[in-house]
Structure 1
Amino acid sequence: MNNFTHLHVHTQYSILDGLSAIPALVKKAKDNGMTAIAITDHGNMFGVKEFHNTARKNGIKPIVGCETYVAARSRKLMELKEDRSGFHLILLAKNTQGYKNLTKLISYSWIEGFYYRPRIDWELLEKYHEGLIASSACLAGEIPRAIKKNDIQLAETTIERFKSLFGDDFYLEIQRHETNLQGADKTVFEQQKIVNQKILELGKKHNVKVIASNDVHFVNSEDAEAHDRLICLTTNSDFNATDRLRYTKQEWMKSKEEMGVIFADVPEVLENTMEIAAKIEDFELDHAPIMPDFPLPEGFSNEDDYLKHLTYIGAKKHYGDVDDKIKERIDFELDTIKKMGFPGYFLIVWDFLKAAREMGVAVGPGRGSAAGSVVAYCLRITDIDPLKYNLLFERFLNPDRVSMPDIDIDFDDDGREKVLKWVEKKYGHNRVANIITFGTMAAKSSIRDVARIQNLPLNIADKLAKLVPEKAGTSLQDAFKEVPELKEAKNSSNEEISSVLKYAEVLEGSVRHTGVHACGIIIGRDDLIEHIPVATSKDSDLLVTQFDGKHVESVGMLKMDFLGLKTLSIIKDAVENIKIAKGIDIDIETIPLDDKATYELYSKGETTGLFQFESDGMKKHLKDLKPTKFEDLIAMNALYRPGPIEYIPEFIKRKHGKSKIEYDLAEMEEYLADTYGITVYQEQVMLLSQKLAGFTRGEADTLRKAMGKKNRELLDKLKVKFVEGCLKNNHPTEKVEKIWKDWEAFAEYAFNKSHSTCYSLVSYQTGYLKAHYPAEFMSAVLSRNLNDLKKVTFFMDECKRMGVTVLGANVNESFSRFNVNNEGNIRFGLNAIKGVGENAVLNIIEERKKNGAYKSIFDFIERVNLTAVNKRCLEALAASGALDCFKEISRYQYFIEEAQGATFIETLIKYGNKFTEDKSSTQISLFGDVMGVDIVKPEIPKGTEWLNLEKLNKEKDLIGIYLSAHPLDDFKLEISHLTNYILSDLKNNLIPEGKDVVVAGIVTEVKDSTGKNGKPYASITIDDYSDSYKIMLFSNDYVSFKNFFSVGYSLLIKGKVQKKPYGNTEELEFKIIKVSLLSEVRETMFKTIKIKLPINSINAELINKIDALTETNKGKTALNFLIYEPLTNIYIEMFSRTKRVYLSNEIIDFLEKKSDIEFKIL
């Protein structure tokens, strides 16, 4: 049997070039009896840790390497075309020293040498070559290129150069990719024959051994076609293009036997690969935590003492007198932290959080299990008292098992970057990095990608992709099983379609791009390249690790999560709004947690905008629960999740005494009282296991983990210990068995109380602000959602419900973001107006702050910088209503064309420039008088006022929403009583096939066209409060309904959701059946109004008012009265036989304002 080791292997981390998944490579190597395998991805070490772990797990020796790019001149030169890539060179790590040097080389190739590709050079090779084996690589290597150019002298010089550097650890490399496959590049082998022959000669001449490789890019021969398509994605090429990049289709991971056949004439080149494999030591990559050193102040010799010092200072601030119970807990935690070697970790976090607060950055009260630490609380790493809420340190750090602490920190969105820059400055740029992420091809995107390069029509590709279920993580393999249409398409005789799905399935999961983890940061004791390969990224100014989050900690790196939390930004903005609008300083961290108004808000379900409590389902449960204490919020936050949500009704019943609170054992009340006898939190299981069975703190945490992960083997062992411990404490066997059974049923759903407490506090803070400072809070909410106009509209509706008015932008009141004016109304920010640039906004606001409100349009024009506040900006300000504060002029007048076609805005700009010019040239006379030319203000032109719809449309164009009103506002009665869906339901395909649909909307755009058959058709856009929707009118529909679809018409549209009768017959469409003008339907479709009123509300005044309204609003709608006795619910129905009414807004407003009257329209 031939012995051979693959030493030139690309995995999928050679992004969009390699197709090989690491587990598949290793499995094939093992199945073929190989004892070692290398990884040599292009210019990176992204996959090294996964590869190392996988190979070792399968008993294969991992050979860590890289196919590097060596700069033609210097890594620092980035000018000429030859600087863009460089020569290929294979480097393999022999030992730990070699691995460290490879790490440095690859890191520097990104940090210092990146120009199109990450490049090293001879300077770096000379410095970091120890412990490395090198080979001359493929045809793109420096020596093969010299041979191809017939520059044999250069080839020999280069060989000697490498040989002098690496000695016997330098090898020449040959490859043989003979191919007759269709679509393969057959020219490669012709080049290889020439290069190989010369390399074999030069190897003998210079006494350098030669190795064989296969330049592996995919695992099996049948993957060649999929790999060919991957290359098309890389090069953005059409699959059928004749001039595109092609491979030989021979680059699969060939077996030892296959390589033996190919290189039968030179078997030594195979044996030499085994020689290299033998040279490789099986070194470790994993490492114990490498904690950064914390700089200690004078007077402290070690981190333990300084941490203890700071902790007790904090304890006195929080607790006053530190009693024995508190001291015992603090000392236990400090002792555990010391034994695990993590005092520096706590000091680092304390330090940057202290700096964050000093910079004015909002810091969250904590998240996750770190809130269980009293030490963290005393250091203000968290702001939740663990003793008060029975939060456990061992949930954070188990004293029986050393694991890295995990303290995740929330900052306000703006502040997160400030803290990162502070950390980078303190510890050094080379010691701080973001964590890399790898984006892979998902099921839908792989279909679309392959379809694009194979020229499958877009509509068919879209249909295929949409057949994949939306459920996260659904693979194509799953989809073929679950969706019959997709399975049928895969097996279709239509080669165009079936091949797309075939190759999409192979490409699925391939790494498509790299990114930066949203919050993961590592901080090193020294330069990170001493321990881990790093890269650079266009997404971050920091360095980026080449290992992802799964692997950075295992190699000893300290990982922390710096998260930006929008809610903290909202709280910070709201506090600032309160200070500006009311002059009140709110310390959000000291607000009372028993505020009645706040709990009333939760009890009414008025939690829109409140962190983690704003879903419809949560609102419903809150109305039933009527929370009265902070612990209720903690519990609801924990319970409102899949699984435990079913316990909420019982939880509510127990709170209100409708269900008896029972404890299996009296001793359990201490820890279950706050949750009315229901086990809600993991911490409760942990505490009770200690109390009932004598578990240690570490054992209690082990139990928590075993239950969460359903580790049956461990649970069985722990059950024995639990039962024995309970029996020792004289607890009845049947009760103990029941408790264990209940725990097993619920514990997998039990939530982390530490996290729930932290985030419930953040929610309570938002609730407090909304309850007491509604306008200031909602202003902050709107500001932080400005990029999502649907959310802006949603929150504006909430403002309306609350009685808070939201006004358009105003140059005399608005700031850059939403703010609250002196009347307590919310003003749109100037930044919300399209066409108004940042410089213009700053100039308008600064000038107003400096010299007071603008008195008129002329005063405004005279004072602002017309370079920043230019014509486009002024047009946007005028049309959006931001200049409405100047009562002497209306919006339309700015756009009236005057002499020579100039608009009045242009006249104003001309006047402003002349005013500025004149002001600059003002002179002082001999008598000290100011001399200047009097400029006559232009006369405001007269014209025709815009129609209301035109005015509203301009608002929408500039702000994205109808602001001062909505064109459908006059038809809210019709919409609420006659429609059953909204346009966003249609747009998002939320309406099932066969459903009758009634929607309302205003026509905002009409595009008439003529089809290939010469017949007219139209594309219509309609808007409602939720969204816009496009309707296509063809054939008979065009003839029947076209006249209704004119811009500005408000319509009621009836139709049905059905399958398309042509084209893609699997797609659903909205088929129109009837269209009516909304302005006519009150008269034609409201047949009867039924008014229900209690008998005790009827009096002469009410009768006279109703009589008067019916007299002044005569129409066609029948009038019925239902009069009832509230106590007995006995009622009498009365029909008006002579009177018919028109349901005017006057009648509806009257009925809606009467809280004791109900009405229904039929």
Structure 2
Amino acid sequence: MILAKNQAGLKNLYKLVSYSHLEYFYRRPRIPRKLLEEHREGLILGAACEQGEVYQACLNRDPRVREIASFYDYLEIQPLGNNEFLIGTSRVSNAEDLKNINRLICSLGKELEIPVVATCDVHFLRPEDAVYRTILLRGQGFEDAERQAPLYFRTTEEMLSEFDYLGEELAYEVVVTNSNLIAEQIEEIIPIPQGLHPPKIPNAEENLEKLCYETARQLYGDPLPQLVEQRLQKELKAIIGNGYAGLYWTARQLVQKSNSDGYMVGSRGSVGSSFAACMSGITEVNPLPPHYLCLDCHYHEFFTSGEVGAGIDLPRKNCPECGKPLHRDGFDIPFEVFLGFDGDKVPDIDLNFSGEYQATIQKYTEELFGEEYVFRAGTVGTLADKTAFGFVKNYLDETNQVKRKAEINRMVKKLVGVKRTTGQHPGGMIVVPKDMEIFDFTPIQYPANDPKSGVVTTHFEFSYIHDSLVKLDNLGHKGPTMMRMFEEFSGVKVTDIPMDDPDTMAIFRGLESLGVTEEQIGTPIGTLGVPEFGTGFTRQVLEDILPTTFADLVAIMGLTHGTDVWLNNAQNLIRDKVTDFKNVIACRDDIMVYLMHKGVSASDAFRIMEQVRKGRGLTDEDIKLMKQFDVPDWYIESCFKIKYMFPKAHAVAYAFTAYRAAYFKVHHPAAFYATFLSVEIDHVNADTIVQGEQYIRSEIAAIDGRGNDATAKDAEVATVLRTVLEAMARGIEFLPVDLYKSDATRVIPVDENKLLLPLVSLDGVGMNAAASIAEAREDGEFLSIEDLRQRAKVSRTVIDALTNHRCLEGMSETNQLSLFG
């Protein structure tokens, strides 16, 4: 047993936990004695339970028992029930033998002047909770799970009773006096340092402020419009004043690196609520109210009363001062959504990088801060409801017990949340300042204790250290990958496309722009393959709403990513004609903006928004306040139904990606379908596609026929097949896999009407095999199937897949030549 008695001891404890997981793990974490001695400062060492070496030495009459015991700061004895399982072994005949071992430990303590403490070895709180440990052990395959020692948390009276055979005076000493003696040695310890400890970036404050103002003045002119000046000043004061400038500057560096390497970056969460983030190049989402802006003479016109949902939707207009076409921007998103009302909330700057570029940006992060100061954010996998239910059901079945449903549910709830394994956040990277160590905050380990992962994570789940260390969310996402492929396949820059193209907007409510019919593709909406808008659920929402503006797309992203925001809420309000789509609550920010336009103070509007977005409803005082400002009853009722709300900034970022994809779908179909199928390549089967339209329809029908038994993968495959049907209906031809011409992993546009399927799209050809074939063919044609197998180092399964797809027609089996023709 290791106790930390002060902060130095806590740091040593974190080091020991780390080394035991990283360097000495074998089936379980282990700490060599030498390592323990090296890091003993600030620690109190207890002799532990019957598995400890002191108890074992007493049990086995080891003559070195005094030497062994002298290593510890206190010795332990435990209730007889804890070690009752030893009775009947060669050394323990009955309960009296167990008492004698405890008496011997007490004598050792007195002789060596080491306090002896009575401990419980607690594994559960109450005696009746033993069943849950039994269920957990059974679920993990332990055959002796039923042999449960009474390892519950005993009261002082119970402990005194357990050790009454020692006599009243000694029992009181080990149960009460010595327990307090140890406790009094322990100082007040803070497990995780309070306050944020960001990495120190030289001149970050000055650089950020300078860049933001330079960019703003280039766009809006000098002097800045009052609205722009006030917003930027307010944000920078909060960002710099609370020590977040380094985080902003780091995020900018990461985005700049990705952009310079040809990959766009999408923003997640609420970072797009920050005008400073927009001006520093972190996000393209402009949170100012919708406005016109002349990029030439800086004329500007803001719409601050909520009459316009998104600047992009403003009608085209020329500058009244210089005649140049006006730029249109702004989404009216409050900064408070990102950093809180007082600007002191620890910011989460979550960024979507291309999945194929994620490893590069993570490596760059390590280069920026130093590899020894960057760690992956750890996660803790816990027992989920479904697994817990299985554990309980199996236990009841195996023990022939019948329980009512309510009792079963109660037992399941007791097990849900128990730690099961560890892992890593998909993109979270923790940065430690250079004047501190990771051990000041948390131990570290391999995810799931797998050293082959090549990744070191925080031992604590990041949510526990969120307010103490900076986390950079460098997430991998399909969106930026698609944008790069669109440009590569079409030659058109994504940022150059018009954001008000009527034919593009039309596919969010119909099929006319695509030139296909519902009978051909099985849906009346044209968004198959469009990120975030291609699912059956979202297409149904599009049918209900029939959007006409970019602001509508933003709202739909909010409605479909929230919980109880659309279903049984906004959907009913629209269908029952209580209100129209433009007025329903879609994103969390809508609440604050709407209430402020109604006249509610910013602080009250923010507070109400925060309550509603977290599913906490409204107080009586909130309702009274809202009615005072003529907020309608349906709006108040809608607030009560909401469980979770999506941030508008994230919705805008998703809408940007979706609209751009839709543009390429309408105007550059070959580039679109090649891109979509490339990023969904795990669900693309070349053998199915080349068999033609009727076969594809039969495959879709088979998946649909499975109903609720269809898996998530089935749903993905069906979406891919429907998109392939749509491409065929638009005149796109799919060419079979070609051993020499096909790319390893990407669908390639051969011309405007033909797509060549990749090697990996063959069932049985994995990523590694496809890459190996592509590399081997660089050295010339394959002489035979034997030559292909040897040079590409592929299995017979791969050869069979290529053969079945007719990729090897005309190729001989071996390299041997016949002498007789």
> TM-score, normalized by length of structure 1?
0.56
Match of 2:303 in 1: none
Q: CA deviation at 1:279?
A: 3.0
Question: Aligned-pair distance for 1:398?
Answer: 2.6
Residue 763 (structure 1) aligns with: 658
Unaligned runs of 5+ in 2: 289-329, 511-524, 685-713
Distance 1:797 1:691 in 2: 44
**Following the alignment from structure 2 to structure 1, what is the Cα–Cα distance between the partners of residues 491 and 575?**
37
**Residues 444, 700 of structure 1: alpha-carbon distance in 2 compared, 3 angstrom cutoff:** closer
Of 251, 267, 281 in structure 1, the residue corresponding to residue 151 of structure 2 is 251
Matches of residues 773-852 of structure 1 in structure 2 within 5 Å? 773-788=668-683, 790=714, 791-802=716-727, 803=729, 804-817=732-745, 818-822=747-751, 824-836=753-765, 841-842=770-771, 844-846=773-775
Residues 206 and 417 of structure 1: CA distance in aligned 2, closer, same or farther (over 3 Å): same
Computed over aligned residues only, the root mean square deviation of the Cα atoms, in angstroms, reads: 3.8
Letter in 1 for 2:74: Y
Task: Give CA deviations for 1:476-513 in whole Å, capped at 9, x if unaligned.
Answer: 99xx24xxxxx7xx7xxxxxxxxxx9976764543222
Inter-CA distance 318–114: structure 2 relative to 1 (3 Å threshold): farther
Deviation at 1:816, TM superposition (A): 1.1
Q: Deviations over 1:546-581 (max 9, x none)?
A: 322432224x122343322233333333433x1xxx
Give the whole-Å Cα distance in 1 for the aligned partners of 2:531 and 2:804: 36
CA contact (8 A) 2:270 2:337 kept: yes
Aligned to 1:922: none
Distance in 1 of aligned mates of 2:802 and 2:675: 23
> Within the alignment, does 1:323 sit opposite 2:248 as a pair?
no
1:372 matched to 2:273 = yes
Q: Deviation per CA, 1:259-308, whole angstroms, max 9, x where unpaired?
A: 11111223111121122223333333454433333332xxxxx4321211
Counterpart CA distance in 2 for 1:694 and 1:737 is 7
The residue number in structure 2 matching 1:518 is 426
C-alpha change, 1:157 and 1:448, in structure 2 (3 Å) is same
* C-alpha displacement of 1:127: 3.9
Which residue identity lines up with residue 144 of structure 1 in the other structure? Y
Distance 1:715 1:747, change over 3 A: same
Q: Are residues 821 and 319 of structure 1, via their aligned partners in 2, closer, same or farther at CA, if it must alter by over 3 Å?
A: farther
In structure 1, distance between residues paired with 2:587 and 2:797 = 58
Give, as a single letter, the amino acid of the residue that structure 2 aligns with 1:209. P
Aligned twin of 2:379: 437
CA distance in 1, matches of 2:208, 2:156: 59
Structure 1: 5+ residue stretches without partners: 1-89, 163-169, 239-243, 297-301, 465-475, 482-486, 491-500, 579-583, 662-674, 724-735, 895-904, 915-934, 939-1162
Letter paired with 1:533: P
Give the equivalent residue in structure 2 for 1:405.
347
SS in 2 for 1:334: helix
2:609 matches 1:704: yes
Q: 1:262 to 1:837 in 2, by over 3 A?
A: closer
Larger radius of gyration: 1
Q: How far 1:229 moved relative to its partner?
A: 4.3
Task: Give the AA of the match of 2:357.
Answer: G
> Residue 212 of structure 2 aligns to which amino acid in structure 1?
T
After superposition, the Cα gap between the structure-2 partners of 1:937 and 1:436, relative to the gap in structure 1 and judged at 3 Å, is farther
How many residue pairs align between the two structures? 710
Question: In terms of mean alpha carbon deviation, does 866-875 or 543-552 score higher?
Answer: 866-875
> Aligned residue for 1:695?
601
How far apart, in 1, do the equivalents of 2:820 and 2:334 lie? 74
Q: Report the CA distance between 1:711 and its aligned residue.
A: 6.0
Structure (1/2) with the larger strand percentage: 1
Quote how far apart the aligned CAs of 1:389 are: 1.2
- Alignment partners' CA distance in 2, 1:745 and 1:586: 47
Q: d(CA) in 2 for partners of 1:101 and 1:859?
A: 63
Question: Is the Cα–Cα contact under 8 Å of residues 137 and 173 in structure 1 kept in the other structure?
Answer: yes
2:446 alignment partner, SS class: strand
Q: Is the 8 A contact 1:436 1:514 kept in 2?
A: yes
d(CA) in 1 for partners of 2:659 and 2:576? 23
Report which structure shows greater RCO (CA 8 Å, sep ≥6).
2
Secondary structure of 2:70's partner? helix
Residue in 2 that maps onto 1:295? 201
Residue 260 of structure 1 aligns to which amino acid in structure 2? L
**Counterparts of 1:115 and 1:354 in 2: how far apart (Å)?**
43
> Contact 2:670 / 2:752 at 8 angstroms: preserved in 1?
no
Q: Distance in 1 between matches of 2:508 and 2:620?
A: 39
Equivalent residue, structure 2, for 1:1160: none
Contact residue 233 and residue 449 of structure 1 kept, 8 A: yes
Following TM superposition, by how much is the alpha carbon of 1:100 offset from its aligned partner in structure 2, in angstroms? Answer: 2.9
What amino acid is aligned across from residue 262 of structure 1 in structure 2? Answer: E
Pairing of 1:152-551 with structure 2 (within 5 A) = 152-153=63-64, 155-162=65-72, 170-178=73-81, 187=89, 192-193=98-99, 195-234=101-140, 236-238=141-143, 244=144, 249-264=149-164, 265=166, 266-267=170-171, 268-271=173-176, 272-285=178-191, 287-296=193-202, 302-315=203-216, 323-324=224-225, 325-364=227-266, 366-387=267-288, 388-400=330-342, 402-449=344-391, 456=398, 480-481=405-406, 507-525=415-433, 526-537=436-447, 538=449, 540-551=453-464
Aligned equivalents of 1:557, 1:120: Cα separation in 2: 27
Mapped pair 1:112 → 2:40: no
Structure 1 pair 849/601, CA: closer, same or farther in 2 (3 Å)?
farther
Which residue of 2 is the match for residue 132 of structure 1? 43
Cα shift at 1:211 = 0.7
User: Aligned to 2:421, what secondary structure does the other structure show?
Assistant: strand
Q: Is the 8 A contact 1:92 1:133 kept in 2?
A: yes
TM-score (norm 2): 0.77
Q: Hey, what does 2:7 align to over in structure 1? A: 96
Equivalent position to 2:58, from 142, 147, 151: 147
Structure-to-structure mapping, 1:33-72, within 5 angstroms: none
Distance in 2, Cα, partners of 1:295 & 1:810: 52
State the match for 1:78 in structure 2.
none
Mapped partners of 1:145, 1:823: distance in 2? 78
Compared CA separation, residues 784 and 680, structure 1 to 2 (3 A): closer
Q: What is the 5 A alignment of 1:1020-1059?
A: none
Cα distance, 1:133–1:609 mapped onto 2, change above 3 Å: same
* Secondary structure at the counterpart of residue 381 of structure 2: strand
Shift of 1:601: 1.8
Equivalent of 2:530 in 610, 622, 635: 610
Aligned partners of 1:660 and 1:867: how far apart in 2? 64
Amino acid at match of 1:535: Q
- Equivalents in 1 of 2:653, 2:233: separation in Å? 24
> Deviation at 1:207?
1.1
Letter in 2 for 1:910: N
Report the Cα offset of residue 849 of structure 1.
Answer: 6.1
Partner SS state of residue 120, structure 1: coil
Contact 1:175 1:192 in 2 (8 A): no
Code of the residue aligned with 1:585 in structure 2: it is: G
Answer yes or no: is the 8 Å Cα contact 2:139–2:391 preserved in 1: yes
Report the CA distance between 1:377 and its aligned residue. Answer: 0.8
1:745 equivalent to 2:637? Answer yes
Tell whether the 8 Å contact from 2:16 to 2:39 is kept in structure 1 after alignment.
yes
Asked if structure 2 preserves the Cα contact closer than 8 Å seen for 1:353 and 1:381, the reply is: yes
Contact 1:443 1:504 in 2 (8 A): yes
Indicate the SS of the match to 2:68: helix
1:1075-1117 alpha-carbon deviations (Å, 9 max, x no partner): xxxxxxxxxxxxxxxxxxxxxxxxxxxxxxxxxxxxxxxxxxx
Deviations 1:522-561 (A, max 9, x none): 222132111222222246533222322432224x122343
Structure 2: which amino acid aligns with 1:825? K
Q: 3-state SS of the aligned residue for 2:2? A: strand
8 Å CA contact 1:719–1:740 kept in 2: the answer is: no
Query: How far is 1:443 from its partner?
Result: 4.1
